[in-house]
Amino acid sequence: MMKATSLSFGKKVAMILLASSSFVASAATGGFKMVLIEDTPGVSKIKAGLYQDGVAEATAATDKQADSFSKQMSLCVAYTHMAEFKQAEQACSSAIYAARRAEGTDSNYKREMRSFAHTNRGVARLMAQDPVAALADFQQATVLEQSHINQHNLELLNEKMKALSPVYTAATLNVTN
């Protein structure tokens, strides 16, 4: 399922629902969402499921064709779909760094950019079987920006964690003083 939306920082953002059949290369990922920046080299290939071609196009892009943040976001999403989680995490971390250092942009724009990079890194970490690190990224993303995407990923992970880990109370454990 693809959805394009316009955000306050003026860039078009494509949201990829990882449970969508057109974007799943491996096991179902349970509905977590990732963010791509439209009009960035490689994005159309990534959206079409041609991840290696998208990586090649994004990697070959010059600074005039794509800013570092947008390029790293594309690489993060593509590597996550290719199950190359170490590279995905590195690309997402580079996007966070690029957002912090973005020149000529106001602090709200930088926060929003960082929030989406954190949510993407959270998905990559979750797919790499590191739910604790994913949770930290999802929480940081929502602290930076209360967007629908960020809140969706955090709430979905919390629901999945609750389903896997029953809450124990003193009564259920038969604890006595």
Residue 147's domain comprises 2-166
Q: Which is nearest to 1 in space by CA: 33, 45, 36, 37?
A: 33
Placement of tokens 């977590």 in the chain = 32
Residue 172 lies inside a defined structural domain of this protein: no
Q: How confident is the model at residue 50 (pLDDT cuts 50, 70, 90)?
A: very high
Average pLDDT over residues 64-87: 92
Radius of gyration over every alpha carbon of the chain, rounded to an integer in angstroms: 17
pLDDT at 13: 54
Higher per-residue pLDDT: 63 or 89: 89
Q: Kindly state whether residue 44 falls inside one of the protein's structural domains.
A: yes
- Domain count across the chain: 1
Residue 176 lies in a domain: no
**One-character DSSP codes across 22-62:** GG-SSS--TT-EEEEETTSTTHHHHHTT-HHHHHHHHHH--
Instruction: Name the average pLDDT for the chain.
Output: 79
Q: At what angle do helices 51-60 and 68-81 cross, to 10 degrees?
A: 160
Each residue of 145-169: pLDDT tens digit? 998 999 999 999 998 888 876 654 4
Is the pLDDT reported for residue 24 higher than 70? no
CATH code, domain carrying 31: 1.25.40.10
Q: Is residue 171 part of a domain?
A: no
- CA-CA distance, 84 to 161, in Å (whole number)? 24
Span 107-133, pLDDT tens digits? 888 899 999 999 999 999 999 999 999
pLDDT interval class at 65 (50, 70, 90): confident
Please give the residue that has the higher pLDDT: either 173 or 89: 89
Residue 67 maps to a domain: yes
Residue-wise DSSP of 124-174: HHHHTT-HHHHHHHHHHHHHH---HHHHHHHHHHHHHHHHHSPPP-HHHHT
Look at residue 139 and tell me if it is in a domain. yes
Q: What is the pTM of this model?
A: 0.79
Residue 51 located in a structural domain: yes
User: Does residue 173 belong to any structural domain of this protein?
Assistant: no
Residue 26 pLDDT grade (very low, low, confident, very high; cuts 50, 70, 90): very low
φ and ψ at residue 117, rounded to 5 degrees: -65, -40
